[in-house]
Amino acid sequence: MNDILPTLERWRSEGEEIALATVVRTVGSSPRRVGAKMAVTASEKMVGSVSGGCVEGAVSEEALEVLRTRKPKLLTFGVEDEKAWAVGLSCGGTIQVFVEPIDW
């Protein structure tokens, strides 16, 4: 979180709407550890990483939906998930990512 905090503070001061994605569970091999974070703004800016790049695009799309609906989501990506292969998660594990709007 410390690595993305300065950017979040700047976006906050600019009035950006922000969704925060956090890795909350991993099973098997995974590119990032529990606690890894990524933030996405309504204007489609992004900082941080939840998967080392392999599912960021899918998480980013879901984050925009979370900002539109204001409803958090729990996402699961794993090698048995066809969508995970499509976005590049082929490391042999499963990750769960919780995406929520930030309400300052």
pTM metric for this prediction: 0.86
* Cross-strand partners of 97: 23, 75
pLDDT at 3: 86
pLDDT at 61: 96
Could you tell me what percentage of the chain is helix, strand and coil, using 3-state DSSP and rounding each to the nearest 5? 30, 30, 40
Both structure tokens of 92: 């042999």
Contact 73, 66 (CB under 8 A): yes
CA 37 to chain centre: 6
pLDDT at 85: 53
Q: In which domain, by residue range, is 45 found? A: 5-101
pLDDT at 88: 54
Both structure tokens of 51: 């998967």
Which residue is listed with tokens 């001061």? 13
**What's the total number of domains in the chain?**
1
* Segments of the chain with pLDDT less than 50: 84
pLDDT at 37: 96
